[in-house]
Amino acid sequence: MKLVSVVGTRPQFIKAAAVSRALAAAGISEVMIHTGQHFDPGMRDVFFDELGIPQPAYSLGISGGSHGAMTGQMLERIEAVLLSEKPDWMLVYGDANSTLAGALAAAKLHIPVAHVEAGVRSFNRQILEEINRVMTDHLSELLFVPTRSATVNLAAEGITRGVHHVGDVMFDAALDARARAATVSTIRQRLGLSEGGYHVATVHRAENTDTPEALTVVLQYLKTLAVDMPVVLPLHPRTRQAVDRFGLDFDGLTLCEPLGYLDMTWLVAGACSVLTDSGGLQKEAYFHRRPCVTLRSETEWMETIEQGWNRLWSQPDYAPRGEIADYGTGDASARIAAVIAGAARA
């Protein structure tokens, strides 16, 4: 059996690290395409090195431009790979432009699509990731959902076949990364931080960086917190460019370059709290049992709010805390590989 997978962004590299190992263990041949959506070496190369992901068979180098232009270029180039490789399955992750391009290219060639992290919904169609994930789910034949609520979301859209609640592959990756980070990461020492004595923040989404008004509000929120405790901000290239473009500043914040997964894991694990507009980091905060504030008006991961580990920045406080059983026990990747292997035999 041959499977082509598509990655292009930091969260996809992390998920692929766990799933690719499980696919290899199940005897499934994988051909990986890296679209190039995250083009900065700090957002890309270090993840392949740290996580032990084999270098992709195809690196397309597509980044920048409008969403339509980027997705269109990816669609054209991925289609050419599929015509050459003739795989049995296409595997895509999450909700990036790379995800939708891979799913579209495969579906148009009648190659079945498997979607990791299916069924996730923010119910905000103004966010491009929501469009990507909805369309990808409706193109997929195997839908690997991380939570029971994701299964409910799919059923509400008429999707009930091929749905498998396997847990969250990010949890698999986090368990492995924390054990390794404890022995190799020196990020806290390098930044002069003590455990529990700082916040960690990330800002990169378009709704927070595309206008000076939105970015000013986010930065002021972080700066207010930084008066009492350091706020560490690994700086996404999009955010750095936006601050320069709008004539804003990072005064009062503790900046560092984009971090590899092990350093970021160790930074989050020792933080007082996490402040983010990232979907994946909301869950990573929970995996390390750190409270999170989501710098958005909604979240795809409502269970983190319902169980008291996360809140929207517009909310005054957290719900009572509980555990989130839906994310599984760290074997989601093995379960995904087993289902794909079974589908190949069917």
Q: Where are the domains of the chain?
A: 2-168+329-345, 173-326
Contacts of 20 (CB under 8 A, 6+ apart): 5, 30, 32, 53, 54
pLDDT tens across the length of the chain (346 residues): 999 999 998 889 999 999 999 999 999 999 999 999 866 655 556 667 788 777 899 999 998 888 899 999 999 999 999 999 999 999 999 999 999 999 999 999 999 999 999 999 999 998 889 999 999 999 999 999 999 999 999 999 999 999 999 999 999 999 989 999 999 999 999 999 999 999 999 999 989 999 999 999 999 999 999 999 999 999 988 899 999 999 999 999 999 998 989 999 999 999 999 999 998 899 999 999 999 999 999 999 999 999 999 999 999 899 999 999 999 999 999 999 999 999 977 7
pTM for the predicted model, two decimal places: 0.88
Q: Which of 34, 204, 236, 288 is catalytic?
A: 204
What is the model's pLDDT at position 37?
Answer: 83
Give the sheet arrangement for strand 254-256, strand by strand.
254-256, 231-234, 199-202, 273-276, 292-294, 310-312
d(CA 285, CA 261): 13
> How many angstroms from the chain centroid is the CA of residue 85?
27
What is the model's pLDDT at position 195?
Answer: 97
E strands, the chain, are: 2-7, 29-34, 58-59, 89-93, 113-116, 142-145, 163-165, 199-202, 231-234, 254-256, 273-276, 292-294, 310-312
CATH fold of 173-326 reads Rossmann fold (3.40.50)
| Topology match between the domains 2-168+329-345 and 173-326 | yes
Q: Which tens digits make up the pLDDT trace of 211-265?
A: 999 999 999 999 999 999 999 999 988 899 999 999 999 999 999 998 989 999 9
d(CA 121, CA 132): 11
- Rg from Cα positions in the chain: 19
**Residue 110 is among the residues annotated as catalytic for this protein:** no
Question: In CATH, which superfamily holds the domain spanning 2-168+329-345?
Answer: Glycogen Phosphorylase B; (3.40.50.2000)
Are 340 and 5 a contacting pair, CB within 8 Å? no
What is the model's pLDDT at position 237?
Answer: 87
Sign of CA dihedral 334, 265, 16, 20: negative
